[in-house]
């Protein structure tokens, strides 16, 4: 599909920078380039595809020079979008890129919608839908593992898996249709048990992909951890140490932390959003009571809690009350201040939290932090597969489509196993096929496309 209009956008982030890229895509890209770009001897260039030209962007109104730039035209179909694409590489900053963008619009382009360049790449069969989603995931990746998963999806690893599953289902449909057509001539065809066995293998492969979603979701979206405990147990010191910088004020006065401090840190390739909270205690201060109520709201919403105790003091009533309120919540108990004389006996804590192994740390000196990082990773990915184990899905959309396909495959397998009408089993498999093709975009409707590409940044 070739669009009949030309879109334009600044493809680099706004703000101060060395270079800004303005991108155009569409049938008028080359003509707009000739209108506003002047190369050697102040003439419009005779663009050769995929060649950089040095020159100036000039006003289409009075030919005033706007910026010194490099320009490159990439003719269809050998471009990102599959259309003629013009890129202008000018100086960065706030004003100059917008001036150049305004000239491209004045010369006949229109502002691009979020993700419209990638949407055109999809519509022109340069990318399938899962690859298009991977583009956004690569841009937004916060850890090396997250980037690796996005890159493998962009390089069609998931597409290859879906294609193999699709071929298996198509083969099963063909065999069922043969059973429908030739059952009267050969009764053994209708009783062929190899079809249920084939569908069982396909269903197993689909379900194996589904089980990877939890791992993929964690690497893509990350997890949230709340650092909680009573006052002055060292929560803010722990946050500062995990971040490697002083973000929270540390003081001996109870109630120093009043506002939530949130930061994201990379822990063994998992993006972890850490929240430092006010110390939980009984208080008559109305403001502090409200703050503590909000702490419990954050705890309820978090994936897990780092529950901090003071190892230089005995357990308090406040400690026990906090533990009681956290019943059923995923948590890692931490005993801080091991650099001070120990007062908290390990067996006391074991009795209080019999199903948890406490980690003894010094947030001040870093003792036990490596063990804590391992524990956080293990808490969320205790059964993580080896990174070479194959495709990992990271999108809820993909998971739901696979679950739908699995349902229809199981239904078709049950029909075939009990000798039911092959027409019904074939219909189930057609439904399974459509569900799989939602992932690559073969059967995705416009609503799904709009929802996916609306999440992209403008210019991509």
Task: Please give the average per-residue pLDDT across 305-311, as a whole number.
Answer: 95
pLDDT (0 to 100) of residue 273: 94
Give residue-wise pLDDT tens across range 316-362. Answer: 999 999 999 999 999 999 999 999 999 999 999 999 999 999 999 99
pLDDT (0 to 100) of residue 202: 96
Determine the Cα–Cα distance for residues 336 and 279; give it in Å rounded to an integer.
Answer: 14
Mapped onto helix, strand or coil, the DSSP state of residue 26 is: coil
pLDDT (0 to 100) of residue 105: 97
Instruction: List the single range of 44-53, 166-175, 192-201, 302-311 with lowest mean pLDDT.
Output: 192-201
Residue 243 pLDDT grade (very low, low, confident, very high; cuts 50, 70, 90): confident
Mapped onto helix, strand or coil, the DSSP state of residue 332 is: strand
For residue 1, is pLDDT > 70? no
On average, the pLDDT of the chain sits at 89
Q: How does DSSP assign 126-144, residue by residue?
A: SS-HHHHHHHHHHHH--SH
Sign of CA dihedral 371, 374, 376, 379: negative
CATH no. for 134-212+391-440: 1.20.120.430
The answer to whether the CB of 25 falls within 8 A of the CB of 106 is no
pLDDT (0 to 100) of residue 253: 43
State whether CATH 3.40.50.300 applies to domain 224-380. yes
pLDDT (0 to 100) of residue 288: 67
pLDDT (0 to 100) of residue 3: 74
pTM: 0.84
CA angle (34 as vertex; 28, 38 as ends), nearest 5:
155
Residue 387 pLDDT grade (very low, low, confident, very high; cuts 50, 70, 90): very low
For residue 388, is pLDDT > 50? no
Sorted by sequence, the CB contacts under 8 Å of residue 42 that are 6+ apart come out as: none
- Element housing 322 (H / E): helix 317-325
The answer to whether the CB of 344 falls within 8 A of the CB of 310 is yes
pLDDT (0 to 100) of residue 285: 67
Task: Please give the average per-residue pLDDT across 61-65, as a whole number.
Answer: 88
pLDDT (0 to 100) of residue 246: 57
For domain 7-125, which architecture applies? 2-Layer Sandwich (3.30)
Instruction: Sketch the domain layout of the chain as residue ranges.
Output: 7-125, 134-212+391-440, 224-380
The answer to whether the CB of 149 falls within 8 A of the CB of 54 is no
- Of the segments 175-179, 273-277, 384-388, which one has the largest average pLDDT value? 273-277
Q: Which residue has the higher pLDDT, 41 or 413?
A: 413
**How many distinct helices (H) and strands (E) make up the chain?**
17, 13
């Amino acid at each position: 599909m070739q669009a009949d209009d030309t879109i334009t956008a600044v493809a680099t982030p706004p703000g101060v920078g060395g270079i800004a890229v303005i991108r155009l895509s569409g049938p008028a890209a080359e003509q707009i380039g000739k209108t506003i770009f002047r190369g050697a001897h102040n003439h419009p260039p005779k663009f050769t595809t995929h060649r950089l030209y040095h020159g100036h962007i000039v006003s289409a109104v009075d030919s005033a020079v706007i910026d010194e730039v490099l320009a490159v035209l990439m003719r269809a179909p050998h471009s990102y979008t599959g259309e003629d694409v013009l890129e202008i590489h000018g100086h960065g900053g706030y004003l100059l890129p917008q001036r150049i963008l305004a000239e491209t619009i004045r010369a006949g382009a229109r502002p691009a919608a979020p993700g419209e360049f990638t949407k055109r790449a999809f519509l022109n069969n340069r990318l399938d839908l899962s690859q298009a989603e991977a583009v956004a995931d690569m841009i937004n990746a916060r850890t090396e593992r997250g980037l690796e998963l996005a890159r493998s999806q962009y390089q069609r690893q998931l597409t290859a898996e879906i294609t193999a599953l699709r071929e298996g289902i198509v083969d099963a449909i063909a065999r069922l249709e043969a059973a429908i057509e030739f059952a009267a001539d050969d009764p053994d065809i209708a009783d062929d048990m190899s079809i249920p066995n084939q569908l069982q293998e396909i269903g197993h492969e689909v379900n194996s992909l589904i089980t990877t979603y939890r791992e993929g979701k964690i690497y893509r979206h990350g997890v949230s951890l709340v650092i909680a405990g009573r006052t002055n147990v060292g929560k803010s010191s722990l946050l500062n140490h995990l971040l490697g910088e002083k973000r929270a004020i540390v003081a001996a006065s109870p109630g120093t932390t009043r506002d939530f401090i949130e930061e994201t840190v990379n822990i063994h390739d998992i993006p972890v959003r850490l929240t430092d909270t006010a110390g939980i205690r009984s208080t008559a201060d109305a403001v502090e009571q409200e703050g503590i109520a909000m702490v419990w709201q954050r705890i309820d919403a978090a994936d897990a809690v780092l529950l901090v105790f003071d190892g230089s003091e005995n357990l308090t009533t406040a400690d026990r009350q906090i533990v009681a309120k956290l019943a059923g919540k995923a948590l890692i108990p931490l005993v801080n201040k091991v650099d001070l004389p120990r007062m908290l006996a390990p067996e006391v804590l074991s009795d209080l939290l019999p199903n948890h192994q406490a980690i003894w740390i010094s947030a001040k000196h870093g003792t036990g932090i490596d063990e804590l990082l391992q524990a956080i990773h293990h808490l969320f990915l205790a059964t993580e597969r080896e990174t070479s184990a194959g495709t990992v899905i990271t999108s809820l959309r993909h998971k739901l489509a696979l679950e739908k396909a699995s349902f229809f495959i199981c239904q078709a397998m049950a029909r075939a196993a009990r000798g039911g009408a092959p027409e019904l089993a074939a219909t189930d498999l057609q439904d399974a096929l459509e569900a799989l093709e939602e992932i690559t975009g073969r059967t995705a409707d416009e609503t799904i496309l709009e929802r996916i590409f609306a999440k992209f940044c403008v210019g991509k």
